[in-house]
């Protein structure tokens, strides 16, 4: 059999844009304001964990630009974000109610109070890599239904070596589904550094294997992230999937249970460029506005602390009622048992 010519299409070059990136001042302020809320939420949530309010928390410190910038590029009328445990900047960027969202981190059985169809993000996903599959499936449905909506799948450098991610990328490319695979390359997968996790050191490089365009961007520059994600989303709606690799750094521990000093040094952290919050502060270039925005962020997060602790419930029968169209005998039995053992209903 003679070797046929390769049918692999040359992916489009989407980045950097020919005319450069310009983001107007109002948009920059909106982005910076939400980055500040995310930073304050992170700092406070670690304290809430120490005070026993939250069982655990995975801070996103250092990843605010990547998360807020990409989330604010979404069209909330039709797009949907699929988030992991470390993506509260996306939640803030979508103006989703933070008290509802933090219900997920309280480890309540119902996984929080947000309605994904309203807030335009999924519940947080702790199965590493699974967001890619969920986003791809949702995006494929948009294509079939002709809604024009696009999905954005958030995942990390570590997740990019999971089979789920590759299956999602392949099917998305074959079906030309409108999905942006947004990788936050923060240098670490828990205690495993990038070079032991990602062969070749680049997640974006994998896109060409699926004939997908990829963009390697500065994930700590919120203007760049915002502009790049807009370009990627527009491409995805018209032509199919795109990979964005946003280079950033996890400036905190993996989670409140982790001690990063056991596997990396502070010197390494300081060598990795400016804090994205400082980058945004320079872009906004208005110290008086910045001071007020900081105060607003403190107040917003304090309100979350108070509201989060006032008891709320969802009917516990939901746990059983929405699993199958018709309940199995085992499920009926479990529900009866649950009713006898709890006073939740």
232 near 215, Cβ under 8 Å?
yes
Contact of 15 with 231, CB cutoff 8 Å: yes
Q: Containing H/E element for 266?
A: helix 266-270
Q: Let me know how many helices (H) and strands (E) the chain has, helices first.
A: 13, 7
Tell which positions 77-96 bind ligand TPP, by CB under 6 A. 86
In whole angstroms, the minimum distance from the beta carbon of 7 to ligand TPP comes to 32
Of 66, 189, 84, the closest CA to residue 132 belongs to: 84
216 contact choice in ligand TPP, Mg ion, none (CB below 5 to 8 Å, kind-dependent): none
CB of 198 to ligand TPP, least distance (A): 9
Residue 156 CB, nearest approach to Mg ion (Å): 3
What H or E segment, with its residue span, contains residue 326?
A: none
Yes or no: say if 154 and 229 are a contact pair by the CB < 8 Å rule: no
For Mg ion, which is the closer residue by CB, 160 or 214?
160
Extract the tokens encoding 234.
């527009």
Report yes or no: 240 and 213 within 8 Å, Cβ to Cβ.
no
Q: How far is the CB of 247 from ligand TPP (least distance, A)?
A: 13
Of 186, 170, 168, residue with least CA distance to 130 = 168
157 makes contact with ligand TPP (CB under 6 A): yes
- Tell whether residue 190 is a contact of ligand TPP (CB under 6 A): yes
Task: Give min distance, CB of 191 to ligand TPP, in A.
Answer: 9
| Euclidean distance between CA atoms 297 and 34, whole angstroms | 8
Block residue for tokens 């119902």: 110
Of 33-41, 126-134, 261-269, 302-310, the window that binds ligand TPP (rule: CB under 6 A) is 126-134
Q: Which stretch binds Mg ion (CB under 5 A): 156-164, 173-181, 261-269, 310-318?
A: 156-164
Q: Which of 62, 103, 149, 156 is close enough to bind ligand TPP by CB under 6 A?
A: 156
Cis peptide before 16 (omega within 30 of 0): yes
Given the complex with Mg ion, which of 48 and 85 has the nearer CB atom? 85
Among 33, 42, 100, 157, binds Mg ion (CB under 5 A): 157
| 199: contact with ligand TPP by CB under 6 A | no
User: What minimum distance in Å lies between the beta carbon of 265 and ligand TPP?
Assistant: 18
Please enumerate in sequence order all residues whose Cβ is within 8 A of that of 87, keeping only pairs 6 or more positions apart, or say none.
Answer: 60, 67, 81, 124, 154
The nearer residue to ligand TPP, 120 or 254, going by C-beta atoms, is 254
Nearest residue (beta carbon) to Mg ion: 156
| Interacting residue with ligand TPP among 37, 66, 159, 284 (CB under 6 A) | 159
Based on the shown chain and the rule CB under 5 A, indicate whether residue 156 belongs to the binding site for Mg ion.
Answer: yes
Identify which range of 125-133, 203-211, 286-294, 323-331 contacts ligand TPP by CB under 6 A. 125-133
What gap in Å lies between CA 34 and CA 79, rounded to an integer? 19
When the beta carbons of 157 and 275 are compared against Mg ion, the nearer one is 157
Please give the Cα distance from 241 to 243 (Å, whole number).
7
The two three-digit tokens of residue 67, written as one number: 């998360």
> Rg (Cα) of the chain, in Å, rounded?
21
Given the rule CB under 6 A, which residues bind ligand TPP? Answer: 86, 126-128, 155-159, 186, 188-190, 250, 254
Given the rule CB under 5 A, which residues bind Mg ion? Answer: 156-158, 186, 189
């Amino acid at each position: 059999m003679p070797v046929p010519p390769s049918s692999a299409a040359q992916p489009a070059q989407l980045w950097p844009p020919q005319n450069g990136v310009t983001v107007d001042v109002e948009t920059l302020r909106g982005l910076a304001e939400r980055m500040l809320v995310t930073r304050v939420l992170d700092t406070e949530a670690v304290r809430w964990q120490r005070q026993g309010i939250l069982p655990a928390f995975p801070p996103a410190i250092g990843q605010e630009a990547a998360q807020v910038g990409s989330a604010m590029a979404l069209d909330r009328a039709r797009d949907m974000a699929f988030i992991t445990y470390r993506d509260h900047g996306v939640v803030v960027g979508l103006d989703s109610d933070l008290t509802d969202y933090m219900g997920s981190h309280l480890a309540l059985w119902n996984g929080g109070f947000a309605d994904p169809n309203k807030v335009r993000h999924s519940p947080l996903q702790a199965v590493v890599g699974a967001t890619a599959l969920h986003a791809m499936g949702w995006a494929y449905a948009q294509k079939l239904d002709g809604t024009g909506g696009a999905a954005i799948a958030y995942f990390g450098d570590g997740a990019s070596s999971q089979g789920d991610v590759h299956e999602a990328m392949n099917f998305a490319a074959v079906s030309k589904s409108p999905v942006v695979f947004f990788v936050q390359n923060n240098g670490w997968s828990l205690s495993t550094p990038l070079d032991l996790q990602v062969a070749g050191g680049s997640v974006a490089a994998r896109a060409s294997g699926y004939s997908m365009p990829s963009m390697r961007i500065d994930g700590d520059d919120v203007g760049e992230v915002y502009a790049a994600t807009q370009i990627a989303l527009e491409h995805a709606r018209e032509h199919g999937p795109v990979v964005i690799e946003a280079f950033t750094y996890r400036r905190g521990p993996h989670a409140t249970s982790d001690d990063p000093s056991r596997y990396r040094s502070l010197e390494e952290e300081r060598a990795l460029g400016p804090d994205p919050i400082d980058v945004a502060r320079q872009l906004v270039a208005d110290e008086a506005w910045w001071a007020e925005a900081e105060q607003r962020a403190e107040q917003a997060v304090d309100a979350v602390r108070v509201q989060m602790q006032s008891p709320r419930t969802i009917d516990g029968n939901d746990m059983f009622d929405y699993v199958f169209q018709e309940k199995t005998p085992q499920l009926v039995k479990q529900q009866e048992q649950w009713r006898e053992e709890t006073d939740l209903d």
